[in-house]
Structure 1
């Protein structure tokens, strides 16, 4: 649970004092340290309750639970009647309009004609309600969100529409609450692609603002940046790299960099962007900030001790977004990722050379 009610003026003052010695000047980066995966046995990780953040509502997938009431539709054929629309046929049959379009090779704007025979693909279809997110839908059915993305061919920006019928993959059978919980584990990709609440058909997501005082309702989607950042990304902190991108000794894969820094080091935005997420829903990463930068780029900042921005806030390259911590780990460090679309990429080639 993220601690609330921090005196942000005090935090900002502390951070500004630290900036003169800890921030990364443009065009420079942290020195490389030894490549180590071994935790410090004497270090004590900061408890999750000690992570402090600006007051904010719970994430949308907690604020708007989903009922697993998907309708099972048998595969069939439908003959288009005068006045029919694809949406109307979807409402009549219970299948998703996008699924019907894919099954029949229809391209936008999905023009159909009277007398046309349409294949209605069978399956389980969930009707999306206002404020529901991909994460909440996946949790409700105990299905991985990336499987739902694949089954529905969803694409960026992954914002669901109220009234949309989403195909739920997998065999239909009753699952206990424990089984559903065991089948779903939230990760960075889930938050980036499944964290936005559904939006009414003709509504638009909220535009980002530079003010951290604006607290958006959890059920308000946020528009991502329209264009990709210009120029190179910058280092978020100065410190020693203790884990690199790629395979590690344990046989797992590191999706980013682990950079050792002192506690309460200012963490800086690597590029202009919009805050897509602030919180602590991934225990292994502790306090977490996710920025979207346009052009499919996302950066991730984990293990923070203090979170200084709000979801829906616009930030500039080099702006302080958090203070480093040891939440979710056993040493003070920053977890830093870069993603292009849904794919983690090595940050090193995309950051300035070290002096």
Structure 2
């Protein structure tokens, strides 16, 4: 009798152990890794885009595209191997082209001397990165529960409290360049490209309402808050400039 009684108990114990803590172990958050990956390669998986791959490795999508000889609109395919090696082949984004006057017009028209001694490239970069060039809005109404930090407990964005099903809004006009679950730790994720420099990301959603290639207007509902890839209902929100995470609080309006 004792032997017959022990067998099912042992079997049940083993079963509980097998289905125990590992099942509920939280996924590793990619947004806890601050440093860019500057070497190696990545094999494209189904559903990935160049933008999501660049996001994963903390790289600028245009840099990866140029490094791998990929031109806009940056189409990639499953099985394609992308180099992550950072090298001299990458060239900075050129300044916007300006119309040139004819030679005769240049010689007959007086040109006022340049009084600003700052290099032209620096002026272009400053103009390109001015926050006033874009109007940002809060992606949800919940309070901030975790702030931006690239030191200590790294968080490459901000976390906002919310309840399952509450709306998530686009923080600015743009185009969806990724919508899926391919980035470990982000859960259901949407990435929006706003211009050549800025992208924003909305993670842990319970439902995604836009697909890759669709346009989004500022304030438009694009997803619903959830807990995918994390341990509570919340929205993880990031802004990246040229592939580098920046503090969203510096861009969002005061509440």
Q: The TM-score by the shorter chain falls in which range?
A: 0.5 to 0.7
Does structure 2 conserve the Cα–Cα contact (< 8 Å) formed by 1:269 and 1:319?
Answer: yes
Q: Tell me the residue number matched to 1:245.
A: 148
Kept after mapping to 2: 8 A contact 1:275/1:289: yes
Unaligned runs of 5+ in 2: 1-23, 28-42, 49-65, 95-130
2:105 matched to which residue of 1? Answer: none
* Local SS of the residue matching 1:305: strand
TM-superposed deviation, 1:295? 4.0
Match among 136, 141, 166 for residue 233 of structure 1: 136
Of structures 1 and 2, the larger Rg is shown by 2
State how far apart, in whole Å, the 2-side matches of 1:326 and 1:352 are. Answer: 26
1:325 is aligned to 226
Question: In structure 1, which of residues 313, 334, 338 is the aligned counterpart of residue 235 of structure 2?
Answer: 334
SS in 2 for 1:234: coil
Change (3 A) 1:317 1:45: farther
Deviations 1:211-251 (A, max 9, x none): xxxxxxxxxxxxxxxxx995420000011211100146xx3
Could you tell me which residue of structure 2 aligns to residue 276 of structure 1?
177
**Number of equivalences:** 162
Note if 1:311 corresponds to 2:255. Answer: no
Q: Structure 1, unaligned stretches of length 5 or more?
A: 1-43, 48-59, 66-97, 100-125, 158-227
SS in 2 for 1:348: helix
TM-score, normalised relative to structure 2? 0.54
Shift of the 127–155 alpha-carbon distance from structure 1 to 2, 3 Å rule, reads closer
Task: Give the Å deviation of 1:133.
Answer: 5.9
Q: Tell me, in whole angstroms, the C-alpha distance in 2 between the residues paired with 1:256 and 1:343.
A: 11
Contact 1:64 1:132 in 2 (8 A): no
C-alpha displacement of 1:290: 0.2
Separation (CA, whole Å) in 2 of partners of 1:62 and 1:252: 30
Partner of 1:152: 89
Contact 1:45/1:329 (8 A) holds in 2: no
Match of 1:61 in 2: 44
**TM-score, length-scaled by structure 1:** 0.40
Q: Give RMSD over aligned pairs.
A: 3.7
